[in-house]
Chain A
Amino acid sequence: MPINLTFCSSAQAIAGVAVAATLFTAGAQAQQKPDVGHFMLANGLEVVVVPDRRTPVVTHMVWYKVGAADEPPGTSGIAHFLEHLMFKGTAKNPAGRFSQAVAAVGGQENAFTSQDYTGYFQRVSRDNLKTLMEFEADRMTGLVLANEQVVPELKVVLEEQNQRVANSPRSRLSEQIDAALYLNHPYGKPVIGWRHEIEKLNREDALAFYKRFYTPNNAVLVVAGDVTTDEIRTLAEATYGKVAKVAEIGPRRRPQEPAQVAARHVTLADVQVQQPSLSRAYLVPSSVTAKAGESEALEVLSFILGHGTTSRLYRNLVVERELAVSAGGWYNGTALDASQFSVYGSPKPGVTLEQLEGAIDAVIDDVVAKGVTPDEVERAKNRLIADAIYAQDSQATMARWYGAALTTGSSVQAVQSWPDRIRAVTADSVSAAAKAWLDKRRSVTGYLIKDSSPREEKRS
């Protein structure tokens, strides 16, 4: 199940993003890395350097602390649309020149948007890093947009919406669950936007959003790979350091959720659905809104309840009671505001969604009433901590972890202490988290079913 729903400028590089999202799902963060560099330029740009000297390759990313949840009402999708338009050139580097330069050295590039951040990246051999930094620094405040570029790109985004959402009943249900879960917070809007609002987005909306949020003091540069902190400091000062601050950025205060007092239920019926399924999202704290230790406990809880075939949901629903073909759950702790803990399942033929929901309720009631065992906690912790070791094998993954942390209110220190904080989780803290947060009144349950109602025919 995807959680950090991100959208890319091009379909071609989606695989990488999906992998990163999955790793965020596991919630793992990086192991202690004493050589990670972290500093700030005079113009307010924050810089993180993650050395990995095994290959002469670098991953260069600029993350802006702005995402779909920061959009003005009525313009949903503008953060993502702007992400696409950022490839349309500047006064200094007209449309196509940046991409041509990346291609000329065999680099890969793309961009992504989530509720909390927007990121741009290239992967190149280390010799070419400085050129890219010059281009990326230039488009930080130098974007120029002509309508003849904006209009076709809006069509591209509408096709992206078709591809990701309109053509997929599961994605459409997921949008409805988010919308119902957040009564007041903008996380209820899809990152890609509502289609009727995307259709009306224009050049002026994009430029206004750009001028308000794209400024060095609202960005984080992450460079991972065959580099040293000293080198990057010099290069960053020579490139990004020349970009003047163009806007003051206030605190990111979004409308918060009221006390949630009623369980919600949504059903999406579509003729395409051949395999029904259900998923339920609970409103829970993220790593930055949680009390100390609580997010880590939710991480372990989601593992015990929903990760893989040893999880409680899978064992109970798929193996023992034989009600479902699949079942699981996940928690996304990487968010600026209140996040989600989700459980899901697909019934076997002949089992109704109501029966499946009853069985899921029983598993959850049990963990709330009786808690978890120390054995389960040890196994989960073991696996989660190992993810931090595996992550170091990929410079791109490391860059994403730091970038996502620093744009969702977390810190370099928090990334590095993550394994220790997971190690400190106890069976008692997991049980307490289950009791505190798996409260149905703070949840939405979504059913995906086949629409078998007769089609209305228009006869006129």
Chain B
Amino acid sequence: MIRPLRCLITSAAALIAVWAAAQPAAAATTIQRVVSPGGIEAWLVNEPSLPLIALNFAFIGGSAEDPADKPGVAYMVSSLLDDGAGELDAKAFHQQLEENAVELRFSATQDYFFGSIRLLRDRQAQSFDLLRLAINQPRFDADAVGRVRDQILAGLRRETTDPGSIASRAWWRTAFAGHPYGRPTGGSLTSIPTITADDLRTYARQVVTRDTLKIAVVGDIDAAALGPILDRVFGSLPATGTRVGMPDAAVRDSGRRIVTQLNVPQAVVWLGGAGIMRKDPDFMPAFVVNHILGGGSFTSRLYDEVREKRGLAYGVYSYLLTLRHAAMFMASTQTQADSAREALELIEAQIRRMGDEGPTEAELAKAKAYLKGSYALNFDTSTKIASILLQNQLDDLGINYIEKRNGLIDAVTIEDARRAAKRLADGGMLVTVVGQPKGLASKEPGG
């Protein structure tokens, strides 16, 4: 029996030109809001020129929903959903993935549990069915759980002497002490052995539910065909979950420096302070300011001062990180022991100077041109488009955000930029350093 389709494509106004920002004349691809017969919503870009489909989805509730004494549950679930589901054990499931050439991935961040599938159009029935099994009927068989536990522990053992991992863990543990964000997403050597299959099932039941599900689809599939697939794959998930949730949090211990000795030639330097939340009106100005200070091009102030002029490091950069309940402004570099202090002082001085003076008019104009021009580069593969459409849903930006986004960049004034720069710099930074840095010791805030 064929059920009548009820794929609602909203009015023409919601058909958004993905490439409008780059070039109105180009073959405009449109984003459609599809609602399945069962009421599941997805954003779709129908792109028939290649015989493949990419689907990305997410649920609210990442590692922050781990039990407080068992960090690593969400991460472990993400590693196990494709290790056996329904009637298929791990081996059979992976063989079917391979036979159908399906790429299926799961991951957990602090806030979200993510999934993505890339599949061949001509194998879509079998491929979507594997996804359905993985999220609806994961088995968590004892042998698979044991293998994944051993693999995670091996990774954690490696991390105990990896300078980057030590610096990152020390930063998060200190900046968010007492808050779920302070717990390690990947778990710890003491927590992972205590996680049972029941913990994994409980997590999945609480988080993998329809109430917070967001979906983005790109590829050779139209709205009419997608609707029933959404119902088949996601329709049987529980309607609601139970999430512990958490309060908003601020970065703690700004001004403190924690130095951890490790016998490696190159020191890793991490800095992080208060950022600006995604919904804050100063987010876009801060985004532009960060680009000028240490964003990803060969022209940032940090790149010029630390690398280009002095050759102190191969990489040096800063970025804004926004979570659902906290916002961070981060910077990082790696440099030999003798120059760690100089590099750190240079970065701190550049941040202070940016806070005091803001960017110049010329820098602001250049940054805007870069950020507007580079936006189109995010849309040249199906998976990249799907991931942006998903993120825009998670950030609640609206289906027409892609069209509006470059206008928001353009609207940033020099006053906006100065104000945002001051906000980023004023909070100070919590610094973690790992290695054998000369002349750098731990210090307390204000010390």
Do A and B come together as binding partners?
yes
Chain A residue numbers with a CB within 8 Å of B95 are 310, 379
Chain B residues positioned under 8 Å from A420 (CB to CB)? none
Give the total of B residues in contact with A, Cβ under 8 Å: 73
Contact B298 A109 (CB under 8 A): yes
Question: A47 at interface (Cβ–Cβ under 8 A)?
Answer: no
Contact A162 B266 (CB under 8 A): yes
On whether the beta carbons of B373 and A309 are closer than 8 Å, the reply is no
Please name the residue on chain B nearest to A126 by beta carbon: B23
- B335 engages A159 (CB within 8 Å): yes
B297 at the interface (CB under 8 A from A): yes
Q: With contacts A272-B161, A394-B380 known, is A106 near B264, CB below 8 A?
A: no
Which residues in B have their C-beta under 8 angstroms from that of A271? Answer: 161, 263
Q: Which B residues lie within 8 Å of A385 (CB)?
A: 101
**B151 — which chain A residues lie within 8 A by C-beta?**
325-326
Partner of A393, one of B29, B50, B154, B157: B50
Bound form: Cα–Cα A153–B155 in Å: 34
Chain B residue, CB-CB nearest to A455: B263
C-alpha spacing A179/B434, complex, angstroms? 30
A34 near B: Cβ within 8 Å?
Answer: no
Q: Beyond A325-B150, A386-B101, A390-B52, is A125–B158 a contact (Cβ under 8 Å)?
A: no
Question: Would you give the shortest CB distance from B433 to chain A, in whole angstroms?
Answer: 14
Say if the beta carbon of B308 comes within 8 Å of chain A. yes
Question: Do the beta carbons of A325 and B154 come within 8 Å of each other?
Answer: yes
Residues of B within 8 A of A155 (CB): 310-312
A14: nearest residue on chain B (CB-CB)? B315
Of the listed residues A87, A100, A272, the one surrounded by the most CB atoms of chain B closer than 10 A to its CB is A272
Assess the B311–A153 pair: CB atoms within 8 A. Answer: yes
CA of A92 to CA of B140, assembled, Å = 64
1/0 per position for B311-325, CB-CB distance to A under 8 A? 111110100000000
Within 8 A of A (CB), among B156-196: 157-158, 160-163
Verify B298–A103 contact, CB threshold 8 A. Answer: yes
Query: By the criterion CB–CB under 8 Å, are A275 and B158 in contact?
Result: yes
Q: Does B376 contact A (CB under 8 A)?
A: yes
Determine whether the beta carbon of B299 is less than 8 Å from that of A99.
Answer: yes
Query: How far, in whole Å, are A424 and B87 apart by their CA atoms in the complex?
Result: 34
Q: Contact: A12 with B296, CB < 8 Å?
A: yes
Are A382 and B99 within 8 A (Cβ)?
A: yes
B314–A104 contact, CB under 8 A?
A: no
| CB of A44 closer than 8 Å to a CB of B | no
How far, in angstroms, from A111 to B83 measured CA to CA in the complex? 38
Given A108-B377, A125-B376, A390-B103, the answer on whether A167 and B266 have CB atoms closer than 8 Å is yes
A2 beta carbon closer than 8 Å to chain B? no
Min CB distance, A403 to chain B, in Å?
17
In the bound complex, what is the Cα–Cα distance between A202 and B147 (angstroms)? 50
Q: Could you tell me the distance in whole angstroms from the C-beta of B216 to the nearest C-beta in chain A?
A: 15
Docked Cα-Cα span, A149 to B141, in Å, equals: 59
Chain B residues positioned under 8 Å from A460 (CB to CB): none
A37 located at the interface, meaning its Cβ lies under 8 Å from any Cβ of chain B in the complex: no
A54 to B29, CA, bound (A): 8
B98 touches A382 (CB 8 A): yes
- B118 interface contact, C-beta 8 A: yes
Nearest B residue to A346, CB-CB: B154
CB–CB B314/A160 < 8 A: yes
Q: Is A395 an interface residue (CB 8 A)?
A: yes
Q: Is the CB of A310 within 8 A of B91?
A: yes
Q: Is B23's CB under 8 angstroms from A56's CB?
A: yes
Given A103-B298, A274-B160, A11:B314 Cβ within 8 A: yes
A250 at the interface (CB under 8 A from B): no
Give the contacting residue for A104; candidates B98, B334, B369, B376; CB below 8 A.
Answer: B369
Q: With A104-B369, A107-B373 in contact, is A159–B334 under 8 Å at CB? A: yes
- Pairwise interchain contact A396-B311, C-beta atoms closer than 8 A: no
Size bracket of the A interface: 35 or more
- Rounded to whole Å, the gap between the CB of A187 and the closest CB of chain B is 24
With a cutoff of 8 Å between Cβ atoms, the chain A residues found around residue B311 in the complex are 151-156, 159
The residue from A151, A163, A346, A379 contacting B314, defined by CB atoms under 8 A apart: A163
**Is the Cβ of B372 less than 8 Å from the Cβ of A106?**
yes
Residues in B neighbouring A319, C-beta threshold 8 A: 90-91, 143, 147
Residues of A contacting B296 in the complex (Cβ-Cβ under 8 angstroms): 12-13
Given the complex, which residues of B lie within 8 Å of A442, measured CB to CB?
none
Q: Give the contacting residue for B94; candidates A10, A54, A308; CB below 8 A.
A: A308
Q: How far is the CB of B152 from chain A (nearest CB, A)?
A: 9
Interface residues of A in 389-446 (CB under 8 A from B): 389-390, 392-396
Give the chain B neighbours of A106 by CB distance below 8 A. Answer: 369-377
Docked-complex contact B49 and A54, CB < 8 angstroms? yes
A309 contacts which chain B residues (CB < 8 A)?
83, 90-91, 94
Kindly list chain A residues whose C-beta atoms are within 8 Å of the C-beta of B86.
none
Assuming the contacts A56-B26, A57-B377, A106-B373, asked whether A379 and B98 have C-beta atoms less than 8 A apart, the reply is yes
Q: What 0/1 readout, one digit per residue, does chain A (318-358) give for beta carbons within 8 Å of chain B?
A: 11000001100000000000000000001010000000000
Which residue of A has the minimal Cβ distance to B435? A167
Residues of B contacting A128 in the complex (Cβ-Cβ under 8 angstroms): 373
Q: Are A382 and B299 in contact (CB under 8 A)?
A: no
0/1 string, A52-90, CB within 8 A of B gives 1: 111111000000000000000000000000000001000
Tell me which residues from 344 to 398 in chain B have a Cβ below 8 Å from any Cβ of chain A. Answer: 366, 369-377, 379-383
A392 to B54, CA, bound (A): 13
B364 shortest CB reach to chain A, Å: 13
A273 interface contact, C-beta 8 A: yes
Known contacts A106-B370, A394-B381, then 9 further A-B pairs from the complex at CB < 8 Å, ordered by chain A residue: A54-B27, A54-B380, A55-B22, A123-B380, A127-B23, A128-B373, A163-B315, A309-B90, A309-B91
A: which residues have CB within 8 A of B? 10-13, 52-57, 87, 96, 99-100, 102-109, 123-128, 151-160, 162-163, 166-167, 225-226, 271-275, 308-310, 315, 318-319, 325-326, 346, 348, 379, 382-383, 385-386, 389-390, 392-396
Can you show 15 pairs from A to B with CB atoms below 8 A apart? A55-B22, A57-B379, A100-B366, A108-B374, A155-B310, A158-B336, A159-B266, A273-B161, A318-B147, A319-B91, A326-B154, A348-B150, A379-B98, A389-B120, A395-B380
Which 6 residue pairs of A and B lie closest in terms of their CB atoms, listed nearest first? A106-B373, A11-B315, A155-B311, A152-B311, A386-B101, A106-B374
